Chain A
């Protein structure tokens, strides 16, 4: 029986010739990630078990991004715990304020993850790196603790769903619209346990940033991972960046997929996920008149340079609607600097938006833009669960940077087409 791309990567890391869906294996890991929320729990377990050293100082990444710059004393204590651990174990990839960025934007940017890798992170959006042709998935804190010591993790080999992407998406249709469309179609458990594997001639129209966005939200469909083939676009991105040698895996011709979905990208419209599930999607023309109080452009889903470029394109020379707070958060320091150089930051501030230091911040209702009762936000983030960005009676609408920026100008959910 042929293997999918995910299955091949897992087999290679388990030292096996082949694996089958449902099989449990132990695989070697190329990168292990923790953040300021999940790492402290893992560090406690690590120390409680009397483990002394991490298996490889260069393969553990600890990123202080969720509640940083420390939003309160508890957050400060958590970061302190991780900082002490990182310094005492000489962890090479410890990213504190000044170097940090939102973890899933930062690791690819720094070249710490790449094609063929097997990666776990104690954060559910670790699946983002599938954009580069890696197997990457989110785990719990015990997994993180054990993996930091052993360099291994056990996996149940997932079955797969195949997504054939065809044709070129229209202007204003981005990676975000594609993944929201898919989640709307298959539901929040439509890919439970499985890997979402992308194919088709439509891939050549998807930038690496579009792919990051699509892979990022695999978890919102319940998937174990999402994965893209490695092509010229991937190679161009990792060139002079990826610190190890890429391993390119391809799905076998006779690989087995539980289901195949064909998606004509040219037919998609900008898509918005209404509260309170990412699968509750509507095309922009069917959104009606939804007045908003806040716009957030940022996060591991859409806080990269191309996202800010889109926002700047829409906001250039315009003014944010009265009564709407617009918060733009470059995902990493590099994105921030590049955006500054290109004049985007000036464009944003002239339009009446604010620009924050990199942080997860409002994405998980942490800080930097919490919603009050009854308030509505359009956000380029990935979850719109009850209370995700603040009060349990606030609402989050998930959308692309195009829609978010256009909505900032009109004060209601809008497409740039109608500006």
Chain B
């Protein structure tokens, strides 16, 4: 699926992804309504299903709140591409089923509003606006399985049902 790019800089922290004042809810749609509010007030209004966030270093730094990847995922973002992710955000994103990719080359060259698609299984990022293709490490099957299932707990639940 092709999506439009929202581009941000370094150190996008969990407080701007979902400000602490909204942590009194676990409702996904409410979280999505305030996603990125403090650096991009129009994000929630403009984002469409399948869009992509591209950012630079240390995306998701700060607290270990799982609300941050949940808000991004619930807002319809199909994938976050960055140079690097903060460690616990990286885990939390995969565990709740938000696809993320590290690819400094793509981050450097992709511009805001470019049309981009990703192939998670192959680790391929295609910029349809510039026609450029980027290759990064694909996730191993076990992690793709988590993302496909919609998160770690859903995967376990499924495995359990299948005995």
Contact of A140 with B157 in the complex, beta carbons under 8 Å: no
B140 surroundings in chain A (CB, below 8 A): 23-25
Contact of A142 with B152 in the complex, beta carbons under 8 Å: yes
Question: What is the CB-to-nearest-CB distance from B123 to chain A, in angstroms, rounded to a whole number?
Answer: 12
Interface residues on A, range: 20 to 34
Chain A window 130-146, contacts with chain B (Cβ cutoff 8 Å), 1 for yes, 0 for no: 00000000111111011
Contact of A24 with B91 in the complex, beta carbons under 8 Å: no
Contact of A139 with B91 in the complex, beta carbons under 8 Å: yes
Residue of B nearest to A150 (CB): B156
Q: Does B47 contact A (CB under 8 A)?
A: no
Question: What is the CB-to-nearest-CB distance from A244 to chain B, in angstroms, rounded to a whole number?
Answer: 26
Q: Is the interface of A mostly helix, strand, loop or mixed?
A: mixed
Q: Does B8 contact A (CB under 8 A)?
A: no
Question: A224 to B84, alpha carbons, bound, how many Å?
Answer: 14
Residue of A nearest to B90 (CB): A156
A23 surroundings in chain B (CB, below 8 A): 140
Question: A141 to B66, alpha carbons, bound, how many Å?
Answer: 8
Question: A189 to B59, alpha carbons, bound, how many Å?
Answer: 13
Question: What is the CB-to-nearest-CB distance from B154 to chain A, in angstroms, rounded to a whole number?
Answer: 8
Question: A150 to B159, alpha carbons, bound, how many Å?
Answer: 10
Q: How many A-B residue pairs have CB under 8 A?
A: 66
Question: What is the CB-to-nearest-CB distance from A48 to chain B, in angstroms, rounded to a whole number?
Answer: 7
B137 surroundings in chain A (CB, below 8 A): 22
Question: A124 to B86, alpha carbons, bound, how many Å?
Answer: 13
Q: Does B117 contact A (CB under 8 A)?
A: no
Q: Does A154 contact B (CB under 8 A)?
A: yes
In the complex with contacts A26-B142, A140-B95, A50-B157 CB distance below 8 A: yes
In chain A between 145 and 180, which residues have their CB closer than 8 angstroms to a CB of chain B? 145-146, 149-150, 154, 156
Contact of A142 with B92 in the complex, beta carbons under 8 Å: yes
In chain A between 27 and 76, which residues have their CB closer than 8 angstroms to a CB of chain B? 45, 48-51
Question: A24 to B153, alpha carbons, bound, how many Å?
Answer: 19
Contact of B146 with A145 in the complex, beta carbons under 8 Å: no
Residue of A nearest to B151 (CB): A142
Q: Does B43 contact A (CB under 8 A)?
A: no
Contact of B95 with A142 in the complex, beta carbons under 8 Å: yes
Question: What is the CB-to-nearest-CB distance from B18 to chain A, in angstroms, rounded to a whole number?
Answer: 15
A257 surroundings in chain B (CB, below 8 A): none
Of A24, A51, A142, which is within 8 A of B143 by CB? A24
Q: Does A192 contact B (CB under 8 A)?
A: yes
Of B58, B64, B157, B160, which is within 8 A of A192 by CB? B58
Q: Does A193 contact B (CB under 8 A)?
A: yes
A25 surroundings in chain B (CB, below 8 A): 140
Contact of B143 with A154 in the complex, beta carbons under 8 Å: yes
Question: A145 to B155, alpha carbons, bound, how many Å?
Answer: 12
In chain B between 69 and 96, which residues have their CB closer than 8 angstroms to a CB of chain A? 84, 86-88, 90-92, 94-96
In the complex with contacts A154-B143, A189-B58, A140-B66 CB distance below 8 A: yes
Contact of A146 with B157 in the complex, beta carbons under 8 Å: no
In chain A between 204 and 248, which residues have their CB closer than 8 angstroms to a CB of chain B? 222, 224
B146 surroundings in chain A (CB, below 8 A): 154
Interface centre among A24, A25, A138, A145 (most CB of B within 10 A): A24
Contact of A140 with B64 in the complex, beta carbons under 8 Å: yes
Contact of B64 with A124 in the complex, beta carbons under 8 Å: yes
Question: A23 to B139, alpha carbons, bound, how many Å?
Answer: 9
Contact of B84 with A146 in the complex, beta carbons under 8 Å: no
A124 surroundings in chain B (CB, below 8 A): 64, 88
Residue of B nearest to A22 (CB): B137
Which 4 residue pairs spanning A and B have beta carbons closest together? A142-B95, A49-B153, A146-B152, A49-B157
8 extra interchain contacts, Cβ-Cβ under 8 A, other than A24-B139, A143-B152? A24-B140, A45-B153, A49-B157, A146-B153, A150-B156, A154-B94, A189-B58, A192-B84
Provide 20 A-B residue pairs closer than 8 Å at the C-beta atoms, listed in order of the A residue: A24-B139, A49-B156, A49-B157, A50-B157, A50-B160, A138-B88, A139-B88, A140-B91, A142-B92, A142-B96, A142-B152, A143-B152, A145-B152, A146-B95, A146-B152, A146-B156, A156-B90, A192-B86, A193-B87, A222-B87
